[in-house]
Amino acid sequence: MVNDEIYDLLIIGGGISSCVFVSAHIKNGFDGKIAIIENGRNLGGRSSTRISFTNNGWKLNHGAPSFNICNNSKNKLIKTFINDLLDSNLIQTDPSDIIELNKGSTFDSEINSEFYSGTNYISRTSMSKLSQNIIFYNNCKNQIDYFFKTLIVRLDYTKNQWILTSKNGHKFKTKFLICSSNLLLHKRSLDILNVNQIPLRKAIPINKDKKIDTLINLLYKQEYIQRLTFLIYTKSNYSYKDNYKNKYRYFILNKLLEERYKFERIIFQKQENNNLGIVVHIKNKQFINKYLKSRNRDRFKEIILDSFNDLFDNDKNIKKLKEYQDIQIMVWRASQPSGFAIPENLQVNEDHNIAFCGDWFDCEGFGRIEGAILSALKLSCKINSLY
Ligand X SMILES: Cc1cc2nc3c(=O)[nH]c(=O)nc-3n(C[C@H](O)[C@H](O)[C@H](O)COP(=O)(O)OP(=O)(O)OC[C@H]3O[C@@H](n4cnc5c(N)ncnc54)[C@H](O)[C@@H]3O)c2cc1C
Point out which residues bind ligand X (CB under 6 A): 12-18, 37-40, 45-47, 63-67, 115, 151-152, 180-181, 183-184, 227, 229, 281, 332, 335-336, 358-359, 367-370, 372
| Residue 101 CB coordination number (10 Å) | 22
In the DSSP assignment, the letter for residue 203 is H
Tell me whether residue 55 or residue 61 sits nearer to ligand X (CB atom). Answer: 61
Tell me whether residue 58 or residue 366 sits nearer to ligand X (CB atom). Answer: 366
Of 182, 119, 112, 132, the C-alpha closest to 362 is 182
- Give dist(CA 105, CA 256) in Å, integer: 7
Amino acid making up residue 46? R
Distances, alpha carbon 10 to alpha carbons 5, 21, 102, 162, in Å: 11, 12, 47, 9
Tell me whether residue 326 or residue 364 sits nearer to ligand X (CB atom). Answer: 364
Q: Are 284 and 262 in contact (CB under 8 A)?
A: yes
CB of 252 to ligand X, least distance (A): 10
- Give dist(CA 7, CA 327) in Å, integer: 42
CB of 316 to ligand X, least distance (A): 26
CB of 81 to ligand X, least distance (A): 14
Tell me whether residue 55 or residue 229 sits nearer to ligand X (CB atom). Answer: 229
150-19-131-44 Cα dihedral, nearest 10 degrees? 40
CB of 3 to ligand X, least distance (A): 15
| Residue 346 CB coordination number (10 Å) | 17
Of 155, 152, 159, 85, the C-alpha closest to 122 is 85
In the DSSP assignment, the letter for residue 303 is H
CB of 24 to ligand X, least distance (A): 13
Tell me whether residue 18 or residue 234 sits nearer to ligand X (CB atom). Answer: 18
Tell me whether residue 58 or residue 224 sits nearer to ligand X (CB atom). Answer: 224
CB of 261 to ligand X, least distance (A): 17
